Amino acid sequence: MTPSDSPGGGPGRELYELVAELFPICRSITGDGVRQTLGIIGRRVGLDVHEVPTGTQVLDWTVPREWNLRDAWVKDPTGRRVIDFHASNLHVVSYSVPVRATVPLAELKRHLFTLPEHPDWVPYRTSYYAEGWGFCASQRLADSLPDGEYEVCVDSTLADGHLTWGEYLVRGRSEEEVLVSCHLCHPSLANDNLSGITVATRLAELLGQGAPRRYSYRFLFIPGTIGSITWLALHQQQVGRIKHGLVLACVGDAGSLTYKRSRRGNADIDRAITHVLARSGRAHRVVEFEPYGYDERQFCSPGFDLPVGSLSRTPYAQYPEYHTSADDLDFVRPESLEDTLEVCWETLGLLEANRSYLNLRPMGEPQLGRRGLYGSIGGRSDAEQRQMAMLWILNQSDGHHSLLDIAERSNLPFALIAETATTLEHAGLLAASG
Amino acid sequence: MTPSDSPGGGPGRELYELVAELFPICRSITGDGVRQTLGIIGRRVGLDVHEVPTGTQVLDWTVPREWNLRDAWVKDPTGRRVIDFHASNLHVVSYSVPVRATVPLAELKRHLFTLPEHPDWVPYRTSYYAEGWGFCASQRLADSLPDGEYEVCVDSTLADGHLTWGEYLVRGRSEEEVLVSCHLCHPSLANDNLSGITVATRLAELLGQGAPRRYSYRFLFIPGTIGSITWLALHQQQVGRIKHGLVLACVGDAGSLTYKRSRRGNADIDRAITHVLARSGRAHRVVEFEPYGYDERQFCSPGFDLPVGSLSRTPYAQYPEYHTSADDLDFVRPESLEDTLEVCWETLGLLEANRSYLNLRPMGEPQLGRRGLYGSIGGRSDAEQRQMAMLWILNQSDGHHSLLDIAERSNLPFALIAETATTLEHAGLLAASG
Amino acid sequence: MTPSDSPGGGPGRELYELVAELFPICRSITGDGVRQTLGIIGRRVGLDVHEVPTGTQVLDWTVPREWNLRDAWVKDPTGRRVIDFHASNLHVVSYSVPVRATVPLAELKRHLFTLPEHPDWVPYRTSYYAEGWGFCASQRLADSLPDGEYEVCVDSTLADGHLTWGEYLVRGRSEEEVLVSCHLCHPSLANDNLSGITVATRLAELLGQGAPRRYSYRFLFIPGTIGSITWLALHQQQVGRIKHGLVLACVGDAGSLTYKRSRRGNADIDRAITHVLARSGRAHRVVEFEPYGYDERQFCSPGFDLPVGSLSRTPYAQYPEYHTSADDLDFVRPESLEDTLEVCWETLGLLEANRSYLNLRPMGEPQLGRRGLYGSIGGRSDAEQRQMAMLWILNQSDGHHSLLDIAERSNLPFALIAETATTLEHAGLLAASG
């Protein structure tokens, strides 16, 4: 994970194209849309696709029936399709049960969701755990519907089947894992969360290349909530391997980055990404954990309390386009996707390189000059960063401070600290201790 | 202690009337003024009145002789009473020994206390532990006194007797106690401390009604310093029962509330009242402990170090009317007394309701929807406070966090947290753990 | 260490005169200049002078050969001495090996150091651990040198000899030590570090007078880096005695005082000097430890981690005159030297007086009045500092708080706290506990 691995030069365009390819698919928490999405991701990285049958008990939950939708529409009194699933999969409330009926406008409206404050946008609605059906439409359309009888059709199946998710493990030199998780249960919404899927996929590709890293990396492409619940239920004995984790969601919009800390608040992932963001000069925000948002809610539930934070650009529900048809392909930007990828990559690099060393000459300063580590003409010399890095590392490497601790205390860039530690290790002055 | 118990609707007028009723009595640290005061309080709550004889050793102190005053005056050379105890009991230095003499003006002035900076006010002075006598008068009066011989009379007794105090215990479901203490040794001073006596009396009345509370409540109506010293001396073995405590003094003036923390600095009482004040939108101050002020000095001495804070409006000695005749019935306000009572009441309610719970489904989030605890139509839903309260409680109830901890971390009102915890407990998701 | 010992009245002039007396000597990390300097200091305090032979292994270092310089010059093509050691010892790079040669201007310039940004100043350069020779001159001179052949002469010896330092121990009532260290290896530089040597010498004189103090005081006059390395190497078993320490350097310029904390960050020395500076009303800065600067680098290396901070005025390398000929006798000020001395003296006095007491009457407040410690007329009395000091000391003296803790918490001056503690001890209310 040297700078030469950096994906910085890679075009955000490539990331954007994966978003665009996945955009039209009708996804929900179960069903063929999920399988189709995993198929596309699987052409890039060697995914394991897992399925768990309906009715399986997973922690406090039960795997629901599988939902698939073939068609759905509403015809006005003249027989014209005024709402049509084929125009946008957002038009159907996710998990709508099959229905075929003729209803007066008033009854139709009880099943119709709109956004009065954004009259041209179609909302996104779901009804996973309460049987029902519904349509979503623009307020403008709803207002234009004349009185009369409407034919409605939801040609769906809600039946025993499976919950599906994808998993990709890049084995490292140790069994300690870094978890990267994203949800893939949303239909045609670009930022939430095709952006997260795309950045995770690219990270997986990059990490799958080259020699094994220090950590193993586990990527989860899972339906929100029930997916992480299911995965946690099946892996309760192994979660202790997860040393660091990141949930990626809403990472493609034009806003600046927002990192939400893990429940622990000061885990290494929290400190690593905070250091990277602060050092990068990017506008950004680091916010405290709250038990709301994406699957970090599950990873950070008190029984697991994993060191998993969450990276977004404009966070969850804080932009008007959130969960509407306006979260479309115009809403995500290639350069934002690439920027997010860079920060993730640098953060993972920091975690790979972060370790503790022991100063092997802790009594006084070792003589750097005779080891060629120091300018030999003394006197007036401005303190240079590299020299300060050497002195800080030697001073703090008492077995209680990691390189990240030292970077934070010295206010020097982690990369410089890590490189300099390697130099000092080669000079026989440091030994890795953790 | 549900909101329906709230005394908010009760008129501050009633509180004010008790201040007015107690105002004329000549109180000191001992004597019949104390007994008379306790008699009036005792008509409202079933006080136990205790007496300890002069000479009793109490900690580092000795119970002093009892002082009673029948009359006191100064006659000018023409025989006119220019200073008269019957006009105001502040005119006599408390604990003045008997005297009957004729003295020239110069000598009289050596016994005369005034406030040059407030020429119309009469100061309040005491001489508990040094024998002597004196009068207090306005500077204007002192300046008007012509030369000549003055007849002075203090018709007092200072003799073996008793130290008297009142105590009222409301037994709760546990022997753990909340202490509410106020001093009743000041003569005609309204804010200091008839205001405190009055608010304490009303709290005692309210707590004496209805079913037993979780805590027992002990109210002390005691002379300042020697009273708390005596009470502590006699109850050294029981003070461990005191889990929370509050000294009430100067709680009726027009200023905003000031809470002084206990010596511990972050005891539950400190956090509870801070939360109540911060949430209330009231202007207020929370100040650090200092070993000065009222009887919190004794309760917070290092050998006891009880979790006792002190509530005032304008604090001790920080208003010019303090310990002068200007601390009169115009200086206290019905609405201030009522406002103080409300904050006390809400704080005690918080302490009653504050406990720790254990999330019984700590692995992942429990499925709130199937328990009817969650809106069933998902998708766009603004995070509502109640839902956030549920999630915070579940996330933090790991045995290490009280409801107050959770209210502080979530920045949600304690009352909402407590109500929601009850809901979750009824739903079988939480069990009380402390 | 009572206020009457205060050196405040002593003239800074006397300090300045020692700076001036030491200024002309050609010092380096070894050699006769060091011995000569110790000889002058030794006329004031009874120094022990120590020598360790060349080649001795000291921690990670080796004692270098001893360097002595008799003469050095550069003659221009006309035979004129354009650079002359006798004009200023800064003209010769310290530790230059002997040389006698005729070289063209171009080659001379490869051995010539200047300061282009300050064309009239001569830089100070050393080459302790890399064999070579060189001259330092003003840029103006360098620019004026015509082409041609130059005769250069360095009449030095670099040969087996000794490393020399001075040490002065003032024995106290305990073997616990306060360390005061300064470097004496710089030639004609006044602030760096004749100022430090001078203040340390005066402190040693003052402490050597009168009755033994609580602590023993050890003064080190040592060559920078190799001197502290050598001293630490030889005293590894005894450094545990050092309870507080101070490195003095650059303490005579017109800037305000800067204290750099020890590596521990909150050692008693850090807190003591911070308290003294904050209370004094002086402009000052307190900065965090960093592993750069003077011999605190060695004392605070992780294997020793001694509680040693560093006091300067304008710190290390932060003034343009640093390590140039402009750090001369005009650059240091009598009043600055005296001001530094006062702060050191007050800080040492604080450390001497700082101890923990136990309140012997911890239950309630002791009755101060009957012990004559309190005004006997109560009532309106403004809280006076002395009374507050008594109450704070009694309240906090529970065995866990030192007088410095109490001064910090009460925001009262340490001197008042210490004096008042003595009063309370004499009254039988306190007992020293640490």
**pLDDT confidence of B213, banded at 50, 70, 90?**
very high
Nearest-CA distance B340 → chain C (Å): 25
The span from the CA of B153 to the CA of B82, in Å, is: 12
When CB atoms are compared, the residue of B93, B263, B298 closest to C364 is B298
pLDDT of residue B265: 97
Q: Nearest-5° angle of CA A308, CA A310, CA A311?
A: 140
Task: Tokens for C391, please give them.
Answer: 């109450």
Chains that touch B (3 or more CB pairs under 8 A): A, C
Q: Is the pLDDT of residue C392 over 90?
A: yes
Nearest-CA distance C320 → chain A (Å): 10
CA atoms within 13 A on the CB side of A205: 16
Q: Nearest-5° angle of CA B280, CA B285, CA B289?
A: 125
Assign B306 to helix, strand or coil.
coil
Q: Can you tell me the ipTM of this complex? A: 0.93
When CB atoms are compared, the residue of C366, C378, C397 closest to B128 is C378
pLDDT tens for each residue of B67-102: 999 999 999 999 999 999 999 999 999 999 999 999
Q: Is the pLDDT of residue B280 over 70?
A: yes
A82 Cβ partners below 8 Å, 6+ apart?
A: A74, A75, A76, A141, A145
Mean pLDDT of B118-136: 95
pLDDT of residue A384: 80
The span from the CA of A410 to the CA of A385, in Å, is: 10
C-alpha to C-alpha distances, A371 to A361, B66, C30, C59, C130, nearest whole angstrom: 13, 86, 22, 15, 12
Q: Is the pLDDT of residue C299 over 90?
A: yes
Nearest-CA distance B128 → chain C (Å): 8
- Residue A244 · residue A267 · CB < 8 Å: yes
- Residue C161 · residue C66 · CB < 8 Å: yes
pLDDT of residue A373: 87
**pLDDT confidence of C162, banded at 50, 70, 90?**
very high
Nearest CA in chain B to A63: B367
Nearest-CA distance C379 → chain B (Å): 5
**pLDDT confidence of A348, banded at 50, 70, 90?**
very high
In DSSP terms, which residues pair with C220 in a beta bridge?
A: C167, C181
pLDDT tens for each residue of A43-89: 999 999 999 999 999 999 999 999 999 999 999 999 999 999 999 99
Q: What stretches of C237-325 adopt beta strand conformation (E)?
A: 242-248, 257-260, 284-287, 308-312
Assign A140 to helix, strand or coil.
helix
DSSP state of C267: -
Cβ separation of B127 and C391 shorter than 8 Å? no
A272 closest CA partner among A282, A259, A285: A259
The span from the CA of A408 to the CA of C129, in Å, is: 33
pLDDT of residue B11: 72
Element (H, E) at A159: strand A149-159
Mean pLDDT of B101-105: 97
Nearest-CA distance C126 → chain A (Å): 5
pLDDT tens for each residue of A268-315: 999 999 999 999 999 999 999 999 999 999 999 999 999 999 999 999
Task: Tokens for B2, please give them.
Answer: 């549900």
Residue type, C399: G
A350 Cβ partners below 8 Å, 6+ apart?
A: A272, A275, A276, A404, A414, A415, A418
Element (H, E) at A228: helix A226-234
Please report residues of C whose CB lies closer than 8 A to that of A363.
59-60, 232-233, 236, 301, 303-304
pLDDT tens for each residue of B28-57: 999 999 999 999 999 999 999 999 999 999
- Residue A197 · residue A41 · CB < 8 Å: yes
B401 Cβ partners below 8 Å, 6+ apart?
A: B356, B409
Burial label for C125, CB within 10 Å (0-12, 13-18, 19+), is buried
Give per-residue burial for A317-352: e unless 16+ CB within 10 Å, then b.
bebebbbbbbbbeebbbbebbbbbbbbbbbbbbbbb
Assign C253 to helix, strand or coil.
coil
Cβ separation of B367 and A290 shorter than 8 Å? no
Residue type, A386: R
A100 closest CA partner among A62, A74, A127, A63: A74
pLDDT of residue B377: 41
The span from the CA of A141 to the CA of C168, in Å, is: 94
List residues of chain C with CB under 8 Å from any CB of chain B. 359, 361-367, 369-370, 376-380, 382-383, 388, 391-392, 394-398, 410
pLDDT of residue B2: 39
How would DSSP label each residue in B39-100?
A: HHHHTTS-PEEEEEETT-EETTEE---EEEEEEEEEE-TTS-EEEETTT-GGGB-BTPPPEE
User: In what side-by-side order are the strands of the sheet with C81-84?
Assistant: C81-84, C66-75, C149-159, C99-104
Element (H, E) at A198: helix A196-208
Helix residue spans in A74-135 (DSSP H): 105-110
Give per-residue burial for A34-72: e unless 16+ CB within 10 Å, then b.
bbebbeebbeebebeebebebeeebbbbbbbbbbbbeeb
The span from the CA of B250 to the CA of B313, in Å, is: 6
Mean pLDDT of A240-260: 98
Please report residues of C whose CB lies closer than 8 A to that of B117.
none
Assign C386 to helix, strand or coil.
helix
Q: Is the pLDDT of residue B237 over 80?
A: yes
pLDDT tens for each residue of A82-127: 999 999 999 999 999 999 999 999 999 999 999 999 999 999 999 9
Please report residues of C whose CB lies closer than 8 A to that of B60.
361, 363-367
| pTM, two decimal places | 0.92
Assign B420 to helix, strand or coil.
helix
pLDDT tens for each residue of A379-415: 434 348 899 999 999 999 999 999 999 999 999 999 9
Task: Tokens for B186, please give them.
Answer: 């000041």
Query: Between helices B268-280 and B334-353, what is the axis angle to 10°?
Result: 130
- Residue B326 · residue B314 · CB < 8 Å: no
Assign B251 to helix, strand or coil.
coil
Count of CB atoms within 10 A of residue A219's CB? 26
List phi, psi (to 5°) of A266.
-140, 35
Mutation target for C interface from B129, B133, B236: give the one with most C CBs within 10 A.
B129
Ramachandran quadrant class, C325 (left: phi over 0; alpha: psi -120 to 50; beta: rest) = alpha
The span from the CA of C353 to the CA of A327, in Å, is: 69
- Residue B70 · residue B156 · CB < 8 Å: yes
Assign B8 to helix, strand or coil.
helix
pLDDT of residue C10: 62
C-alpha dihedral (C308, C314, C316, C318), degrees to nearest 10:
150
The end-to-end CA distance of chain A, in Å, is: 19
Residue bearing the bigger pLDDT, C326 or C384: C326
The span from the CA of B416 to the CA of B414, in Å, is: 5
The span from the CA of B20 to the CA of B328, in Å, is: 9
The span from the CA of C203 to the CA of C180, in Å, is: 9
Q: What is the overall mean pLDDT for chain A?
A: 94
List residues of chain B with CB under 8 Å from any CB of chain A. 359, 361-367, 369-370, 376-380, 382-383, 388, 391-392, 394-398, 410
Please report residues of C whose CB lies closer than 8 A to that of B125.
377-380
The span from the CA of C50 to the CA of C221, in Å, is: 10
How would DSSP label each residue in C328-359?
A: STTTS-HHHHHHHHHHHHHHHHHHHH--EEEE
Nearest-CA distance C400 → chain B (Å): 11
Q: What is the overall mean pLDDT for chain C?
A: 94
Parallel, antiparallel or unpaired: strands A177-183 and A242-248: parallel
pLDDT of residue C8: 47
Assign B399 to helix, strand or coil.
strand
Parallel, antiparallel or unpaired: strands C242-248 and C177-183: parallel
